[in-house]
Amino acid sequence: MLDIWSWICELPYSDEWAESDSPFILTLASSSASKKNTTREIQLRAERTFMSEADVSLTFSVCIEGFESLEPQKTMWVSDTCLLSSEKPFLPLVLQLLQEIITRSPTAHDSSCPRSQLQKLKPEPISWIMDSHSPESFSSFFNLLFLTRLFWSCACDAPSVVGSFYFNSVLSPNIEALACNHAPVLRTFLETVGVDAELSFTRTLGYITAKLLILREVGVGLQTIAPLPDQQLGLSYAAEAHGFWILKGYAPVSAMKVTRSNEHNGKFPIIEAKESVLRYALAHQQLEAVIQLEYSVVFHDGYIQVNARVDNLRFHVAKLGFKRNDDMEFNEERHFPSRVRVWVGPEVGSTYVAGMTLGRSTNNGEREVETQRILKGNYGNTKIPKVKARARMTTKTRMRNWRWDQDVEGNAAVFDAVLCDNTTGQELATRKCDNNGDGGSSSFRNRYSGANRPFTKSGGLVFGRDEYGEGVTWRLSREMEGSVLKWRIGGQIWLSYWPNNVKSSYFETRCIDWCDEVDLPLIAGKYPS
């Protein structure tokens, strides 16, 4: 992989540069053109300017060379000035990359925070991140920033031939940068920068990943794109704060594993133009999940009791686009959550848990039975009886869209919510949509409107503590008092697509799973009695 950060940091101390005023060049990608004896390149250039005897500044730029129909050398991007005499000479460069990535990011069509309202990043948190991590760790984060910013210049602000070259020769060899699930600097950055900037940043990564996966599926002239990394594309991180365990996850829908579909080969088949546009629109979506569990610790004479329960589960499928009127015909077509599985518990192999108690095993549906008897007749002396009896019995079953179950795996508690068809009771995540072009069950037509819809108007899903208030408790040895344990938290989310307002036979279900560790402080006095 490229190591751009190390190259930048070594510039002020280079002996070669002391003898020359020519710019230093790092070739990011290079290949020979097929038609002419030329070489196509994307370069990062560093130019030095002497402002005084004590002040020397550096300016970075991205240039392209050797592309037909373009000038011999074209500058795509120029950085702000970096003063080598300052304490943090390259802090302005990092801030500029971050700010430009965030302000240019795609936003969900229904976002309440447009790019114009995003505040500028403050330098102090970014400076602290640079100081608190090793150069090797920060290098991978900087590579991600630079590749992301380069995407906007090459793939969006340049001719298509430059964008194709970027995907093949720059992003493809460094694709592991997008599989940044456990990058420590990225985790710290997302926790520090604020949720609005976090959404903008992660939607940019999702947009780039979606474009890359579309090009891989189409495969026209892009067969040289490297195989995807072993790690899943997307990112997640967990944290402990103020009595909450929080797991956040972001995954482009097209990067999620397909579990059920009417396409067996995973490639785009030969389909009608209208359905092709539908699938293209569906590929530009991203799952944004927040799993928030409330926990508490109670100290007893002979044991420590740890309590946890679901506080908030939020799942939003964001449409990655730049205009509200993009694909208006398919504006109501999006994936929806069809199953949610959350687990929490001590680390694997722990021996300090004496036992655990679940709140309930399952949520059984309610059933009402109504019985009605009607008697008719007359009394008196008559040879023909005129007594008639009629009985009527009615059975009513109340079925909810979401069925909650609670289970256990070892010492981990499992909370499972499954979306069911409230007319048939069938689980949506494992059900095949009818292949007749009308989207199957009519109960999931127009699923984002009406009083009984199972989702929000924007297609999201929110579970609050009132929806599933029961929790789980663990009893730990009192000898663990004063320690900070590692508790694991994870989530597995299924997204399904059924046609909503369009006539199509296409359906699919995809799945993503995340797992991380959070802290559990067992410190007396930290928790209210």
Pairwise CA distance, residues 320 & 110, whole Å? 10
Query: Could you tell me if residue 77 is inside a domain?
Result: yes
Q: Is the dihedral of CA 142, 147, 150, 151 positive or negative?
A: negative
Q: Which of 87, 103, 131 is the last residue of a domain?
A: 87
Query: Could you tell me if residue 82 is inside a domain?
Result: yes
Containing 523, the helix (H) or strand (E) segment is none
Domain count for the chain, please give it: 2
Query: Could you tell me if residue 43 is inside a domain?
Result: yes
Q: Which of 61, 87, 113 is the last residue of a domain?
A: 87
**Contact (Cβ atoms closer than 8 angstroms) between residue 336 and residue 317:** yes
Query: Could you tell me if residue 75 is inside a domain?
Result: yes
Q: Which two tokens stand for residue 354?
A: 């004496």
Burial 501-522 (b: 16+ CB within 10 A, else e): ebebebbbbbbbbbebebebeb
Beta-carbon contacts of residue 77 (< 8 Å; ≥ 6 apart)? 61, 62, 149, 150, 153
The CA-to-CA distance between both ends of the chain, in Å, stands at 52
* pTM of the entire predicted model: 0.86
Query: Could you tell me if residue 20 is inside a domain?
Result: yes
Q: Which of 357, 375, 397 is the last residue of a domain?
A: 397
Query: Could you tell me if residue 315 is inside a domain?
Result: no
Query: Could you tell me if residue 277 is inside a domain?
Result: no
**Contact (Cβ atoms closer than 8 angstroms) between residue 93 and residue 80:** yes
Beta-carbon contacts of residue 182 (< 8 Å; ≥ 6 apart)? none
DSSP 8-state class, residue 168: I
pLDDT tens for the 529 residues of the chain, in order: 688 999 999 887 776 666 667 788 999 988 876 666 678 899 999 998 887 766 788 999 999 988 877 778 889 999 999 988 888 999 999 999 999 999 888 875 555 655 555 668 899 999 999 999 888 889 989 999 999 999 999 988 888 889 888 988 888 888 888 776 657 899 899 999 889 899 999 999 999 999 888 888 776 555 556 556 656 788 999 999 889 999 999 999 999 999 988 765 545 555 677 788 888 889 999 999 999 999 999 999 999 999 999 999 999 999 887 665 555 677 778 899 999 999 999 998 888 898 889 886 565 555 565 666 665 666 556 656 566 666 666 655 555 788 888 899 999 999 999 988 777 778 888 877 665 545 455 567 777 777 777 787 777 888 888 776 678 999 999 999 999 999 999 999 999 998 888 888 888 999 999 999 999 999 887 777 6
Identify the domain containing residue 19 by its residue range. 10-87
**Contact (Cβ atoms closer than 8 angstroms) between residue 499 and residue 333:** yes
Query: Could you tell me if residue 40 is inside a domain?
Result: yes
